[in-house]
Structure formats: structure tokens, C-alpha cells
Chain A
């Protein structure tokens, strides 16, 4: 009748002492109090307070835990504290950058800023803005247009070259040529951006005469930086397409090129597309190569094949380093921050788009 069940014991051998649930929180408060006291003795400053607090908290928690719970749990708590601290440290610069860009960028940012150029805006207007309270005029429309055109051109150049290179490397490349290409792509990944800019400037100087600067030259400079990123990311994505799918297509009598176009690329497209978007985000903020290739201008130029073309990073650089009015630099700095804010928004949008694309194209497994 009775099943073989064991009677519960009064004390279990499986349990051991544990710290109270709120013990770490209590210790944290105590550590904060002690460190505030200590810091006040030495000379109070926030970094010192935080540093002392973390050290005291980690030491106290480990000691208490070692006394109550034993060595393994104590080590666990110490390492957990260190990891969380490292994570918080890593977040500080990110939050600080976003905070300062938003805080400084909002004052000049607005519809007017995005829809007007700097043509005929001089230091005189800036002085009036500061002294008489006249509205801030002049915006980054020309730079926004330039950035979009140059980046779009760079993408149009880089994506076909990069994607085809990665297809060659994954599907066809064998032996020395493939190894050489991989090597040079690695080298290209490490090229300093100013070198890419000088290369494009020199190329255009040879082809079209010294001093040739236009948006297309900027796009070429950016492609030099973008191609290796596209090759690398799409190569990774193509490599993780299972070989079984290739074999399945072969076994149906599908020629290789069609197998690649109709099976391999669609399977990897979500990763490729998000890789491309991230590559765009990577080059959209490049400054040095554009300064030496596309130059500066205060007017709207929508033709990338002639005349100088402004871009957002060059706009930030020129207004921050050479304000329109030497005596009243603040309006120029405000514009530079607003342009930086615009750039951050563009990069964030691109990252968002990359995620949406990855989600939209991802192979579906729903039932």
C-alpha cells in the first residue's frame, strides 16, 4: 500500500548558512557611510568617495560572506561585485557622451537648423545674437545633404565590391589568391582614416588635376574604409550558412551560381544587411578623410562630381575650431554641438534600422 517514500529529516544535510537577503544592500549603505567619513578626513571628492566605497564594500561583503557562507560563496560574491563594477565603469563614458551631446546640442537644434545652410552667415550675425538677442541663424542642411550623398555613394561603391569579395572568399576562393585577399583585407581594416583620405585625394589629383575636391572623392575615401568592414562581416555571415543547404541545392541539380544567389545569400541576408548598416554607421562620422577630399563649404551642393561638399563631421570640425566670430564663439559652438547631435541621431537610426532589417529578413521558424 505505502509507496517507498523517505521520511523528511529534521535537519537537512543539503542546507548551509546563508547571508540574509538584504545583507548586501545593508553592507553597501554601511560602506557608503564609512567611505564618506574617510573621504571627508582626506579631503572629499566624488571619485574618491566612490572608489573607497566600492573597495570597502567588496572587502566587507567578502569577509562577512566568508565567515558565514564559506569560501566558495565568498569568492562568488567578490567576483560578482568586480564584474558589476567593471560594467558600470564601461557605461560611464557612453552615458557621458550621450549626455553632453544632448545637453549641448539641443540649444541650436531644430527644424530651422536642419533646413538652412550657412550661406551668407557671418560673424556679424553671431555677435548680434549674443549682444542684441537676435535669433541664431544658419544651420547644417548643406552638411546633412553632403553627408547623405557622400555616404550613399560610398555604400553604392563598397557593398557590391565587398559582397562579391566575400562570396569569392567563401564559395570559390582556394589557395594563394584567397589567402592574399584575406591578408590584404585585414591590412585594409587597419588603415588609418587619414591615409585613406590622402589616397583618394592623391588619386583624384593624378586623374583630374591637383586640388580636385568633390563629394565623389570623399565617397572613394570612405569606400576604402568601408570595403574591408563589409567583406569581413558578410564573409562571417556567408560562412555560417550550413553546407547542408548548399548540398541540398546541388542535389536538386541547381548550378552553383544560382545556388549562391537563390539559397546562400537569402539565408544570410539578414546578417549581411545589418553588417552593411553597421559599416555605414562606422564611416558616416569619419572626419579626416572628408576634410582632405571633399573640403568645406557653406553653401548647398548636391552635385558630388563638382565643387566642394560639406559633411556633418567637417561642419562640426570647422565651426568648433574656427568659429565665425572670434570674439563671440558661442553660437558657432552651439551649431557644432547641434550637428554632432544630428550625427548621433543618424548613427542611432542606422543601428535601429540594422536591427529591424535583421529581424525582418531572419529565417522564419514559426509553425
Chain B
């Protein structure tokens, strides 16, 4: 499991509007890469372009290359459904399926794709995924209760369990802790540390301490002004970005002198 991603000169458009311009980067396998930057600078848009989720928005399109272990995700004839099966995603707000139980939520990725499983196989996948998301001990007695009845932090870990149940190569996280309290945030940060042994993780965050705590490499995005495209300013080892960044704007941003 886990593959690397290479992005080559990627432009992302919403209709005629250029939202993100000229991003190139390498994302190592089995590492945590954090995207930081001010609101509206295109971090989330870029993240969603990594598993073709941005296509859900009408008019969105990209130019450039995104290679998953050497395979271009945007090559002619690539099915976005297959891309998303390899590159999972966790969203800002926890979004368990309200009609499903905790167990069914975890198995949703498999069940919705009509994968045939025996009962014991399904139980095994559910337990493994929930353990992987550090949620098993809290929900093992209420697997058949609705997933929407869990607390916010538990719901978010349930969504992570759901994402890893399909065993993706890469896990994208779009501000996974922004709706959570510090304790749940800590639980998820611990989890990210464990998950990186098996998965390639990319996380968007507004919390710079979080980026410093969890990531190996950090990418700083910025925007020149409203209506201008977002750009990748700098990407380096996390310690370097937070101690002696190469660009003045990065230093201003991480030291809080920005805006």
C-alpha cells in the first residue's frame, strides 16, 4: 500500500477563473504532507484535484499532470471512480451517512460498491478499520446504533475509519480537526502519526502548530490578492519551514506577522 504523488505544473480552473496556478510538487509515500496558507489561497481546491473530487463542482477543470506512482490521473480515459478508490478523502465536517449504523458506515465504501463479503469478513474489516481509527473501544458495544448519534470527534474518526476501510493508497484530509475540540483533535493527530506507517497522507490545516506537530513536509500556499490565482510559494521539510524558511512571505505567515 501507499503510493507517491508527483504533480507537474498544475493549473485549476472554475469555469474561466484560474483558481490555482502552476503548482509542482512531490509527495512522498508513507509521509505526512501539510498544506498551510491563508483562506481562499487554493489549498483545498488543490487537495481535491489530487483525487478528482473538484470535478463534482460544475465547470471545474485542470491543466497539467498528477502522477500516482507514475500513472497520470488526468490521462484520457481514466475513470475518476477508480482514482477515488485509490485516493480516499476525509472532509472538514464529519459526514457519516445518517441512514446507516456505525458498522454500515465503516463498510459503506465496500457495500456501496456491492462487494460480496461474508458476515465474518465484514466484521473483520469493520473491527480493523475502527481499531485503525482509534474508535473501536468506544463503539464496539454500539455498532448497530446510528452513526449520526456519535459525538463530533467520534464521527470524524468514524469517517476516517470509513475512508481506510477501502484500503486506499493515499488519504487526503481537508481540515479534519477544524470542527473538533482539542481532545478530539489530539486523538486524530495521534491517529495521523500511526496511519503514516501505511498510508501517504496529505492534510490541509489552518492550525500551524498542528502542521508542525504532525507533518514531515509542509507546503505554503499564498494568494497575491482577491481574484488572483493561488500559488505554491514554498515547500520543504516541516522543521525548515517553521525555523528558517526560504521565502519572506512564508516567514511572515508562520510567525503570525501576516495580514
Contacts and interface: CB of A to CB of B under 8 A. Distances in A.
Interface of A: 174, 242, 244-255, 258-259, 262-263, 266-267, 363-367
A245 B112 contact: no
Interface stretch (B86-94, B215-223, B240-248): B86-94
Nearest to B52: A250
Contact of A254 (B91, B96, B109): B109
Contacts of B166: 252-253
B97 A253 contact: no
Interface stretch (B68-76, B143-151, B249-257): B143-151
| Residue of B51, B82, B95 with most partner-chain A CB within 10 A | B95
| Residue of A174, A254, A366 with most partner-chain B CB within 10 A | A254
Interface of B: 51, 53, 56, 58, 81-86, 88-91, 93, 95-99, 108-109, 111-114, 142, 145-146, 148-149, 159, 162-163, 166
A259 B146 contact: no
A260 to B, nearest CB: 11
Contacts of A255: 81
Contacts of B84: 250-253
B81 A266 contact: no
A258 B96 CA distance: 17
Contacts of B51: 251
Contacts of B95: 242, 244-245, 247-248
Contacts of B148: 363-365
| Residue of B82, B83, B99, B109 with most partner-chain A CB within 10 A | B99
A365 B58 CA distance: 32
B112 A244 contact: no
B171 to A, nearest CB: 10
Contacts of A367: 142, 145, 149
A252 B159 CA distance: 10
A365 B109 contact: no
A251 B89 contact: yes
Given A244-B93, A248-B91, A253-B81, A266 B113 contact: no
11 contacts: A245-B95, A245-B98, A246-B56, A247-B95, A252-B85, A252-B113, A252-B163, A252-B166, A254-B81, A254-B109, A259-B112
Contact of B146 (A246, A248, A252, A365): A365
Contacts of A246: 56
Given A258-B113, A365-B146, A245 B97 contact: yes
Given A245-B95, A251-B88, 12 more contacts: A247-B89, A247-B95, A250-B53, A251-B51, A251-B90, A251-B91, A252-B84, A252-B88, A253-B84, A253-B85, A254-B81, A366-B149
Given A174-B58, A363-B98, A367-B142, A252 B149 contact: no
- Please give me the 5 A-B residue pairs with the lowest Cβ-Cβ distance, nearest first: A253-B85, A363-B98, A252-B109, A251-B89, A244-B95
B109 A253 contact: yes
Nearest to B59: A174
B108 A366 contact: no
A179 to B, nearest CB: 14
Given A262-B112, A365-B146, A367-B149, A252 B162 contact: yes
A266 B99 CA distance: 7
Contacts of B56: 246-247, 250
Contacts of A251: 51, 53, 84, 88-91, 163
Given A363-B98, A365-B98, A247 B149 contact: no
A323 to B, nearest CB: 54
B98 A254 contact: no
A252 B97 CA distance: 12
A253 to B, nearest CB: 3
Contacts of A254: 81, 109, 112-113
B50 to A, nearest CB: 11
Contacts of A262: 111-112
Contacts of B142: 367
Contacts of A266: 99
Contacts of A263: 97, 99, 112
B130 to A, nearest CB: 16
Contacts of B82: 253
Nearest to A251: B89
